[in-house]
Amino acid sequence: MVKHWYVYLIIAAVAELLYMLCDKYKFIKSKPLRTIIVIFVASFICWGIYDLFV
């Protein structure tokens, strides 16, 4: 199975943008919970975009 490193890089970039957005507006107060939610949401966003285009 070929591992595409750029997919992980894109997920990390989307997660960082979501994390900065959540940190700025304080949507979720708890930092560990915010991190977990941002990782899952970023993964689902990237999976959905990948599914639409491929």
Q: CA of 37: how far to CAs of 5, 10, 46, in Å? A: 22, 17, 14
Residue of 50, 45, 36 whose CA lies nearest to 13:
45
Report pLDDT digits (tens) over 13-43.
Answer: 999 999 999 999 988 889 999 999 999 999 9
In this structure, what are the phi and psi dihedrals at residue 28, rounded to the nearest 5 degrees? Answer: -125, 125
Given a cut of 70, whether residue 2 has pLDDT beyond it is no
* pLDDT band at residue 1 using 50, 70 and 90 as cut-offs: low
Q: Using one digit for the tens of pLDDT, what is the confidence trace for 41-51?
A: 999 999 999 88
pTM for the model stands at 0.81
Say if residues 48 and 32 touch (Cβ distance below 8 Å): no
The pLDDT assigned to 5 comes to: 84
